[in-house]
Amino acid sequence: MMKYSLYPGCSMEATAQANLKSIIAVAKALDLHLEEIPDWNCCGATVASGVVGDFTQQVMTARNLAIAEAKGLDVVVGCSSCYLSLAVTNKRFKEDEHFKAKANEALAAGGYKYDGSLRVRQFLEVVINDVGFDKIKARVKKPLAGLKVAGYVGCQTVRAIPYEFDDPEYPVQMDKLMEALGATATKFPMKARCCGSSNAIAATEIVIDQAYKIFESASEGGADVIATPCPMCQLNLDAYEQMVNQKYGTNFSLPILFFTQLMAVAFDLPADAQALSYCINSPYQALASYGVAR
Amino acid sequence: MEQNNKPVKYDLNFAREIYNLENGSYIKQCMQCGMCAISCATREIMDYSPRRLFNLIKLGKKDEVMQANTMWNCTSCCTCKARCPRGVPIIDVMHDLKKYAIQNGYADYPQAAFYKAFWAEVAGRGKVFEGGVTARYYLLRGLDEVKKAMAMKDVGLKMLKHKRMPLFPPKKIKGLGNLKKIIKKAQEIERREAR
Amino acid sequence: MEKKIAVYICTGCGIGEALDIDALSKVATGEYKAPICKQHGFLCGQEGVELIKNDIEAEGANTIVIAGCSSRVNYDVFSFGPDKIVERCNLREQVAWCHPAGDEDTQMLAEDYLRMTLAKLKNLNLPEPYQVENMSKTVLVVGGGFTGLTAALESAKAGYQTVLVEKEATLGGYVGKMYKQVPMKAPFTELEENGIPALIKAVEDAGVKVYTSATLEKTAGAPGMFDVTINQNGSTVEERVGAIVLATGAKPYDADKLGHLGYGKYENVITQAQFEEMAVAGKLEASKVAFIQCAGSRDKEHLPYCSAACCIESMKQALIVKEKNPEANVYIYFKDIRSNGQYEHFYKKAQQEGVIFIKGDVTEIAENDGTLTITADDHTMGTQSEADEFDLVVLANGMVPSAALGDVVEEPAQDEAAAAAEEPKAQAPTIIKANLLNLAYRQGPELPALKYGFPDSHYICFPYETRRTGIYAAGVVRAPMDMLYAQEDAVGAALKAIQCIEATAVGQAVHPRSGDMSFPEFNMTRCTQCKRCTEECPFGAINEDEKANPLPNPSRCRRCGTCMGACPERIISFKNYSVPMIGNMVKAIEVPEEADEKPRILVFACENDAIPALDMAGLNHLEYNPWVRIIPVRCLGSLNLVWINDAMAKGFDGVLLMGCKHGDDYQCHFMKGSELAEIRLSKISETLNRLGLESERVRATTVNIMDYDKIPAMLDEFAAELEELGPNPMKDFQ
Amino acid sequence: MANKSILVVGGGISGLTAAVEAAEVGNEVFIIEKNPYLGGRVSQLNQYFPKLCPPNCGLEINFQRIRKNPKINFFTMAEVESISGQEGNFEVTVKINPRYVNEKCTACGKCVEACPAERANTFNYGMDKTKAVYLPHEFAFPMKYAIDDQACKGAGCGKCAEACEYGAIELGMQAKTMKLNVGSIIWATGWTPYDAGKLSYYGFGRYDNVITNVMMERLAAYNGPTKGKIVRPSDGKEIKSVAFIQCAGSRDENHLKACSNVCCLASLKHATYIREQYPDAEICIYYIDIRARGKYEDFFTKVQEEANITLIKGKAGEVKQDPETNQLIVIAEDQIEQKVIEKKFDLVVLATGMAPNTSMAQIPCEAAYDEDGFVAAAAPGIYATGCTKSPLDVASAVRDATATALKAIQSTVRGQQ
């Protein structure tokens, strides 16, 4: 069994509970042991950087790494925004001695210290590299044969650390994962385009306009569903699909799922692990032929 | 050329101030290629592309720069940062410009209110409660925005229905006191380093 | 040498299927009485080669004719030692592969080619190398700046005696006066200390003989035997040297012509050179400095070219300002930043140090209260911009080669008779009296200049090509370049000088006919002092005595044969290339009678480009006109009009010259060969017309090596036009 | 006693020049080339800037120099395996890969007619195919065929061997190694076009009508895949508009940090190719700086004066494809006009730069490389030249190679003392 520390992040406890539920269930099914970092705090995301600056935000983030370092396990992150914070902070600890000294000086004020020994990883990457497509295929009980999936990787997942495990402009790894589940990855030029992210509240129009382009591109490719690893992407598309339809006079009704939810379906895990009821746009019809019921 | 007959005048004082921000010195490396301008997810609605903004900084156009929506419309999608041929971490520069704008009273954009609300949540709890951020945001923005909120009530209702909007905030983290100390110290260090 | 001819006809690669080999053999044995003539199905195979070697040994064959593939292939297989003559008759690429098998015309073509090859042998002899007397292997370097010092040091390090002549009292040149140097190595970000003192010491330690305050009063002679008169402070010294590197550098563009940028008007508008002076003198105290790029360069009114070094030199100077005063504000106004290659790192470094780069055209520089104000069209800002309070404005004023400074040598006034004849003439290359070499050459005192006065090579593949054999230009005298380029350039030129010395020592030509040991010999008894050879030699190899007799200098000669083509008396011949040799080839071709309705077209083709192109046409099995008979020539410059006479008299219906492109972007490796040939043609057109022969029957065309796809149509069209003219009326006069 | 001979690794224009120049001074020279022919990258070029003359012309002269000079030895399909010894006396192990065609080949071409297998034509960057037995290209020197063992069906097929009248096919040929003793070594393994697939925002590999500058050379060349006609790869249609994207990979911290030096002039030259075939085609060049240094400025001026050529100051950011017309939409910020512009083109040419081969296959000896992968310094007696040393245009590479020949000769002289 492979062991990891898990950093869930704030969204997983609120808007993206479906993500956390399916991650935990899929991990278990694949023999991956995830241990939540005790008393983790918000990473601050890029929003905090805009108020207090990168350094302060990264020191906040580092508190989580400092706590996790006691176990020495790779830190797995589900949320792409949290991943951006943790991975970039971790990289600076490893590569920038001056930063490391300053950051540890600040951490010391709270009684923490981080040596930069850990690896920060995305759950998507762990599933692909540590488990591998062959084992995933072997675990599939209900192949998603015939399901056309637009793999919406989003922006930060592949661009936080470009080329870390995929092309930052035209990623293909999640598509391969979908293929391993038996589904068909559709042509989807907007697969790495930003959804508008944190502008959902303050500048809704941005999100609606972005979401429109993404839905348009996914529909052109003939997708039945959109899959994503990112809580912001999932929420923005899921919550605003109808507003997009209103503004643009379109008729999109694509369900937006976390890739882990589709894994749970293909692995034939229980309904709670699939967490499909959290989807605003119902996925039941699209997934009906894979043993999914409301 | 602009209609204005009087030539604009270079004034390096503002540029120097910006170049001294945390990531500001990277701006100096900009070679005016315009890659960022195309890469931006929100390029259609930006007043100035990052390239142009950097050019205006060079020129010393403080008001134009600070009043621009460029940094506020930045979604931190990292496309420009990943592509910039000069390795300018543009989103990090945008963070600095937002922070500078807030500190210098150029915070009229709704995003600025959202940022402040978000930070207040993080600092007060150690975690973010999305409902709390929204409430704080509307308090900061005032009545006009509430109208917009009403327009979005459908979204909110749907989210509630699908268990996407917990009504109660998460517990404060146990180490909140320590976190606050860390933040305070970090800001001290940052001020020290800036000079 | 008594020639014993052995002919071998290869029947492989389709030749056997295309031709009647027995009939072909009879040409050799019957018409030309070759004592040995054999055929083999795989001549380049071991057995075939053994066959030849046996005949050489057992039968004493010493003149071998290989009738098979092109000489471009199997050159190593058919090589039997320096004392054997080997001639290739191309039956494969030029016959079997581009003409129908078994056809009567194909057979006639092959037979003619064999006749031509055998006829050629009559006047073909093994060359004997020309030996220079009192050969010197010393390298002379003219100019003691960065390039010259480097060239001198490197040639000394290769073991050659080296002499260096510098006109100033001290060595070092322009670079010697610099405060610091641009980076010359990775990571290309750090300014370097001036390397000239160390370079001077290395030159002295290497035993280079240095003359300072010295100029070349006269350079006479030729490679291996240049006699130079050095004037040092008024007294003269003679040195004999083998080859010369010209490294006299460049001058900054005259800033007095840059009044529009405030030079001469405002004290604090200075040049890059003045900046260096200030920095060296420790007088550089400026808190706000602007650099104006392309001050003169890239400007039709001044220097249309880019001076190449200014962008990185200005970045260097900007960094010097920053080094002295980190708080200084430094601006660089540019058109394009040309920090090519790895100097991109230097550009980034300058940016990181806070140098402000503005893409803009400066429209005005004015003075206000003792400081300078710059107004510019600021392109990326999209507006006019202004910056003020500069205490120094530095003009990146570009460079002018030292070779361009002087009066152009005027063509000697034509005598009345020549003027009256209005003979067309190739334009002589520009030579500028720059007082650098003072060559005692009939063709002028300095290296011929290309555009803008740079004595550069015109070739991309051969950047050290020179029109004065044994003299190689290097550094900024040759072309605008930065120091890193100049350093390499100096070393390369030193190699070329050494190479010329070594080739001369064994009597061989240098590029492009490197290794050739033939050279032109003049039968002076028949010379009419017409000066054509001396005027037309592209390399200035032939001097004249006061009676206008040509005085050849074989070690200057590049063996193109232009003199041979020019000579109306046909007194110039090489041992293995001569007017009679080609004439015999022309005469060997059988021209059928008019009634046979088999026209004949003679083609003279340049062996550098047109012949390979014809081979390629064969390789691609492109079929072309079978009336064509092709004779390769060293260069169309060697075309002697008597061959045209011979051809027309013999009844050829037309003659086509295939040469290289000429004009500004000429591709002729001997500069003007194809152009001269065309001029010669134009001279005989009137004569032809007078004889009742349409001058359209003789024409020239340009073919480059990639034009093989166009060759069939080119020949067919010419044949069609000749057909319209009807047969050559001289045909049956023979 | 030290050795006066020189090993030149790489038979492209730099290696050829260094070898020929050194041999014409009098030193014995060995050239090692990994391809089945000499000439390297320049043999794949259609024309040189700024003269627009054919590279085969200069190569032909260099091959003549090789033919006439017994001091030059060359080995194709060969690679250096190891180097030992020191300046003045190196021992080098060279591996000669099997060509499967021996010296008996007369280049008659009968084998090609018989061969049933095909391979992607690497000489034309995969834009067309050859048989598994192939002549690398028409001007190939040596003029001998070779067999691609990846494509060949092996001894079981043997049709080529049957067809060959001269016993030139040896399907069982094995790699060989040999030792060379030399006084100094010149490393001239050249460069590889930067992998345009890594610039995924330009869609190379996804859109057929996005090509690279080196492919443009083949499209324009008569001995290329289209007989020299420049057409859209997707459907072979004529071109009405073309975009050149400069700095595609070069001057980029994420890709090639340095400027590749040749791409500006190369694209200006390509503009002349297009103009010659399509007098009315619209040509746009997207650039950051046009680096036509020195006298190349004249060529820049000349091309600028052509009608319907627009220079757009702004690095092209993205290329999208119109799925219906296969036209490409290039998005860039026009910095003079201060706006983002989208323009449609039939063809997009990426001006990809030079990645030094030493960044992939290093010299098997002590050597230092700079951050761009070029050779900064090597052990005494070993010299890098041409594009293993810095990104250079042809004239500069030849100049550099000539200089390096002298350095190598100096090593043999030093070794003798």
What pLDDT, in 10s, does the model give residues C455-472?
999 999 999 999 999 999
Please give the pLDDT value at position A165: 87
In this structure, the answer to whether residues B70 and B88 fall within a common structural domain is yes
Q: What distance lies between CA A242 and its chain's CA centroid?
A: 23
Looking at the complex, does the CB of residue C384 fall below 8 Å from at least one CB of chain D? no
**Domains defined along chain C, listed by start:** 1-121 (3.40.50), 139-251+402-505 (3.50.50.60), 254-397 (3.50.50.60), 578-734 (3.40.50)
- Find, among D94, D81, D108, the residue nearest to D163 by Cα: D108
Looking at the complex, does the CB of residue B33 fall below 8 Å from at least one CB of chain C? no
Q: Do the chains contact at B86 and C348, CB–CB below 8 Å? A: yes
- pLDDT over 90 for what percent of chain D? 96
Looking at the complex, does the CB of residue A222 fall below 8 Å from at least one CB of chain D? no
Given a contact cutoff of 8 angstroms between Cβ atoms, the answer to whether D221 and D270 are in contact is: no
Q: How far apart are CA D369 and CA D358, in angstroms?
A: 8
Q: Do the chains contact at C359 and B32, CB–CB below 8 Å? A: yes
CATH code, domain with B19: 1.10.1060.10
Is there a common fold for D6-97+175-192+355-416 and D195-352? yes
Question: Which of A169, A193, A219 should we substitute to test contact with D (largest number of D Cβ atoms within 10 Å)?
Answer: A169
Question: How many beta-carbon contacts under 8 Å exist across B and D?
Answer: 52
With contact defined as 3+ CB pairs under 8 Å, the chains touching D are A, B, C
- Classify strands C407-408 and D347-352 as parallel, antiparallel or unpaired: unpaired
Q: What is the mean pLDDT of chain D?
A: 96
What pLDDT, in 10s, does the model give residues D136-145?
999 999 999 9
D111 residue type, one letter: C
pLDDT band at residue B1 under the 50/70/90 scheme: very low
Nearest-CA distance D133 → chain C (Å): 16
Chain D residues within an 8 Å CB radius of C708: 222
Please give the pLDDT value at position D415: 62
Nearest-CA distance D324 → chain C (Å): 35
In this structure, the answer to whether residues B25 and B84 fall within a common structural domain is yes
Nearest-CA distance B127 → chain A (Å): 5
In this structure, the answer to whether residues B30 and B99 fall within a common structural domain is yes
Question: In chain B, which residue's Cα lies nearest the Cα of D318?
Answer: B38
> Which CATH superfamily hosts domain D6-97+175-192+355-416?
FAD/NAD(P)-binding domain (3.50.50.60)
- Find, among C94, C99, C18, C71, the residue nearest to C616 by Cα: C94
Nearest-CA distance D118 → chain C (Å): 20
Q: Do the chains contact at D317 and B34, CB–CB below 8 Å? A: yes
Chain D residues within an 8 Å CB radius of C481: 294
Q: Do the chains contact at D318 and B85, CB–CB below 8 Å? A: no
Nearest-CA distance A291 → chain B (Å): 21
- Prediction ipTM score: 0.95
**Is residue D50 reached through a cis peptide bond, with omega within 30 degrees of 0 on the bond before it?**
yes
In this structure, the answer to whether residues B155 and B74 fall within a common structural domain is no
- Domain assignment of residue B1, yes or no: no
Looking at the complex, does the CB of residue C14 fall below 8 Å from at least one CB of chain D? yes
- Domain assignment of residue B5, yes or no: no
Q: Do the chains contact at D407 and C336, CB–CB below 8 Å? A: no
Question: Which of A163, A170, A172, A190 should we substitute to test contact with D (largest number of D Cβ atoms within 10 Å)?
Answer: A170
Q: How far apart are CA B37 and CA D339, in angstroms?
A: 9
Q: Which residues contact A71 (CB under 8 A, 6 or more apart)?
A: A5, A35
Rounded to a whole number of angstroms, the distance between the first and last alpha carbons of chain A is 33
CATH number of A2-122: 1.20.1050.140
Coil/strand/helix, residue D93: strand
Pick left, alpha or beta for residue C406 (phi over 0 → left; psi -120 to 50 → alpha; otherwise beta): left
What percent of chain D is helix, strand and coil (3-state, nearest 5)?
Answer: 25, 30, 45
Coil/strand/helix, residue A278: helix
In this structure, the answer to whether residues B85 and B160 fall within a common structural domain is no
Low-confidence stretches of chain A (pLDDT beneath 70): none
In this structure, the answer to whether residues B32 and B114 fall within a common structural domain is no
Nearest-CA distance B112 → chain A (Å): 9
Give the position of tokens 């011979």: C646
Looking at the complex, does the CB of residue C661 fall below 8 Å from at least one CB of chain D? yes
A197 φ, ψ to 5°?
50, -125
What pLDDT, in 10s, does the model give residues C27-38?
999 999 999 999
Looking at the complex, does the CB of residue B174 fall below 8 Å from at least one CB of chain A? yes
pLDDT band at residue B4 under the 50/70/90 scheme: low
Find the helix packing angle between B90-103 and B12-19, rounded to 10°.
110
- Find, among A156, A212, A162, A223, the residue nearest to A188 by Cα: A223
Is pLDDT above 80 for D2? Answer: no
In this structure, the answer to whether residues B98 and B115 fall within a common structural domain is no
Please give the pLDDT value at position B2: 44
Q: How far apart are CA D14 and CA C733, in angstroms?
A: 57
Looking at the complex, does the CB of residue B70 fall below 8 Å from at least one CB of chain D? no
Given a contact cutoff of 8 angstroms between Cβ atoms, the answer to whether C583 and C568 are in contact is: no
Q: Do the chains contact at C462 and D54, CB–CB below 8 Å? A: no
Please give the pLDDT value at position B100: 96
Strand partners, C291: C332, C394
Looking at the complex, does the CB of residue B184 fall below 8 Å from at least one CB of chain A? yes
**Is residue D70 reached through a cis peptide bond, with omega within 30 degrees of 0 on the bond before it?**
no
Nearest-CA distance C271 → chain B (Å): 23
Nearest-CA distance B190 → chain D (Å): 27
Q: What distance lies between CA C173 and its chain's CA centroid?
A: 28
Domain of residue B96, residue span: 12-103
- Domain assignment of residue B46, yes or no: yes
Question: In chain D, which residue's Cα lies nearest the Cα of C93?
Answer: D108
Q: How far apart are CA A210 and CA A203, in angstroms?
A: 12
- Find, among A21, A20, A158, the residue nearest to A80 by Cα: A158
Rounded to a whole number of angstroms, the distance between the first and last alpha carbons of chain B is 38
Give the torsion through C-alpha atoms of C371, C377, C380, C382, to 10 deg. 120
- Domain assignment of residue B184, yes or no: yes
Q: Do the chains contact at B9 and C381, CB–CB below 8 Å? A: no
Given a contact cutoff of 8 angstroms between Cβ atoms, the answer to whether C150 and C199 are in contact is: yes
Last residue of a domain, one of B88, B103, B118: B103
Nearest-CA distance D56 → chain C (Å): 7
D contact set with B (CB within 8 A): 201, 247, 251-255, 288, 314-318, 331-333, 335, 338, 340
Low-confidence stretches of chain C (pLDDT beneath 50): none
Q: Which residue of A54, A160, A194 is in closest CB contact with B75?
A: A194
- Domain assignment of residue B6, yes or no: no
Residue B103: which H helix or E strand, with range?
helix B90-103
Q: Do the chains contact at B10 and C331, CB–CB below 8 Å? A: yes
With contact defined as 3+ CB pairs under 8 Å, the chains touching A are B, D
Last residue of a domain, one of B103, B132, B149: B103
Q: How far apart are CA C334 and CA C669, in angstroms?
A: 38
Measured at the CA of C727, the angle between CA C726 and CA C728, to 5 degrees, comes to: 125
Residue spans of the domains in chain D: they are 6-97+175-192+355-416, 110-163, 195-352
CATH number of D195-352: 3.50.50.60
- Domain assignment of residue B134, yes or no: yes
Three-class SS string for C277-338? HHHHCCCCCCCEEEEECCCCECCCCCECCCCCCHHHHHHHHHHHHHHHCCCCEEEEEECCCC
Question: In chain B, which residue's Cα lies nearest the Cα of A40?
Answer: B173
Q: Do the chains contact at D318 and B33, CB–CB below 8 Å? A: no
Given a contact cutoff of 8 angstroms between Cβ atoms, the answer to whether C335 and C300 are in contact is: no
Please give the pLDDT value at position C123: 94
Q: Hey, CA dihedral for C337, C339, C341, C342, is it positive or negative?
A: negative
Chain D residues within an 8 Å CB radius of B31: 251, 288
- Find, among C580, C555, C671, the residue nearest to C220 by Cα: C555
In this structure, the answer to whether residues B18 and B88 fall within a common structural domain is yes
Please give the pLDDT value at position C419: 54
What b/e sequence results for A117-144 when a residue is b if at least 16 CB atoms lie within 10 Å of its CB, and e otherwise? ebebbbbbbbbbeebeeeebeebbebeb
Q: Which residue of A51, A103, A205 is in closest CB contact with B99?
A: A51
Q: Which residue of C351, C381, C387 is in closest CB contact with B28?
A: C351
Looking at the complex, does the CB of residue C344 fall below 8 Å from at least one CB of chain B? no
Question: How many beta-carbon contacts under 8 Å exist across A and D?
Answer: 9
Is pLDDT above 90 for B195? Answer: no
Return the CATH class of domain A132-290. Answer: alpha beta
Instruction: State the pTM of this model.
Output: 0.95
With contact defined as 3+ CB pairs under 8 Å, the chains touching B are A, C, D
Structure tokens at C93: 């690429």
In this structure, the answer to whether residues B132 and B61 fall within a common structural domain is no
C410 residue type, one letter: E
Q: Do the chains contact at A53 and B130, CB–CB below 8 Å? A: no
What percent of chain A is helix, strand and coil (3-state, nearest 5)?
Answer: 55, 10, 35
Question: Which of D200, D204, D255, D320 should we substitute to test contact with A (largest number of A Cβ atoms within 10 Å)?
Answer: D200
Does A contact B via 3+ CB–CB distances below 8 Å? yes
Last residue of a domain, one of B78, B103, B128: B103
Please give the pLDDT value at position A33: 97
